[in-house]
Chain A
Amino acid sequence: MTERDKDDRDGILALLEDVADHDQTAEEAQEELAGDGVNVSTFLARIQQTVDRQTKEERLAWRREAQKNVEAFARSQNAAGRFATMSRSDLEAEARKYASEVHFRNLEEQTDDDLRTLLADRARLEELSKK
């Protein structure tokens, strides 16, 4: 096939695709489809089913995501709860594990409650990031 033949072929395909892509109203489309023997009512019922199924799927996906968030939050509460009864020395030992992090420096200047809050917040964030 010569280059010219190939150009002609491409041109014909472009022409066909162009004229196939014309604007029409829903009524015109319905008329065209009915003329071609398409059962429009059956098609529209199928579309409705597809939309209903996909909408339900999306709703369930949203609920699943919400459930995951609830579970992650509950886990984070549990993870944070263990610091409530820790002694000062245990709290300091726990905080030293994160000595590289800016909030866990100068431990001697922090009250027991400050340390508990810092450790609990950190544990919660860690648990939520696992979601």
Chain B
Amino acid sequence: MENKGGARTGIVSGVADISDPKQLQGLSLRLLAFARRRAAVRRWWLGAAGGLAKGQTVEDVVCEAVESLFGGKRRWDPASQPDPWEHLKSVVNSLLSNLVRSKENRLNSRDVPQDAVAPQDTPESALLRSEEEGALEKRRERAYSLLVDQIADADDKKLLALHDLIMNENIHKPQELSKRLSIPVAEVNNLKKRFWRACRRVLDILDKEEGQSHD
């Protein structure tokens, strides 16, 4: 069963039963929220190129992932991955990567067969690309500086510690983070949620500055 004690701890445990419509709805909502956050990170990181390609939306990606639980090309194999949630997350990550990559390739005129001769950069296109890369780099720096401000403003030592452990010590596993921060795993999850809210505030600031909406 999904969500044993979830409302209390915020942690979702156990394997969902996809034949139960309520649980499937719950999985779908969690997946859409997850996919939107992932897409937001990519948009943050890649700027305009981080938007989805081929006219797709995050909801399209989530529908395709949910479809894979019941058949299709990326059909779920419970023998190799018993947890449908893990399968769904991996399909969403893969679809988002493919869509962003294909758009990035198209923007950079690299959507050509591998054996094709690469078109030569003209001085103008090289200059344009270098300007675009420079602008993107500045955007990332601005985003990161805003994020650091947000964390400093929150005056939360644990948030800062989480930042340092992931950024400087490359620690990602919740169990290890929990050990290093001397807090329970559920609290690490709550810390990540607070951190994400700071990221969202940064995204909102950037969107306002650039006049974009979230989708």
Contact = CB atoms under 8 A, between A and B. Distances in A.
Contact of A25 (B3, B28, B36, B167): B3
Contacts of A40: 29
Nearest to A31: B33
Contacts of A58: 70-71
Given A18-B192, A23-B11, A50-B63, A11 B166 contact: yes
Contacts of B72: 54
Contacts of B163: 15
Interface in B25-67: 25-30, 32-34, 36-38, 40-41, 44-45, 59, 62-63, 66-67
Contacts of A57: 71
Nearest to B190: A22
Interface stretch (A41-49, A74-82, A84-92, A105-113): A41-49
Interface residues of A, number: 41
Contact of A32 (B33, B44, B69, B172): B33
B136 to A, nearest CB: 11
B91 to A, nearest CB: 13
B13 to A, nearest CB: 8
Interface residues of B, number: 51
Is chain B's binding surface mostly helix, strand, loop or mixed? Answer: helix
A99 interface: no
A13 B45 contact: yes
A96 to B, nearest CB: 47
Interface of A: 8-9, 11-30, 32-33, 36-38, 40, 43-44, 46-48, 50-51, 53-55, 57-58, 61
Interface of B: 2-3, 6-7, 10-12, 21, 24-30, 32-34, 36-38, 40-41, 44-45, 59, 62-63, 66-67, 69-72, 89, 140, 144, 162-163, 166-168, 170, 172, 189, 192-193, 195-196, 199, 214
Given A12-B167, A54-B72, 13 more contacts: A16-B41, A20-B196, A21-B38, A22-B189, A23-B10, A24-B30, A29-B26, A30-B29, A33-B29, A38-B36, A47-B25, A51-B67, A54-B67
27 contacts: A11-B168, A12-B144, A16-B41, A18-B172, A19-B162, A20-B38, A21-B34, A21-B37, A21-B89, A22-B192, A23-B10, A23-B12, A24-B12, A24-B30, A24-B193, A25-B6, A25-B7, A25-B30, A26-B25, A26-B27, A28-B33, A33-B29, A33-B36, A43-B28, A46-B59, A47-B24, A47-B62
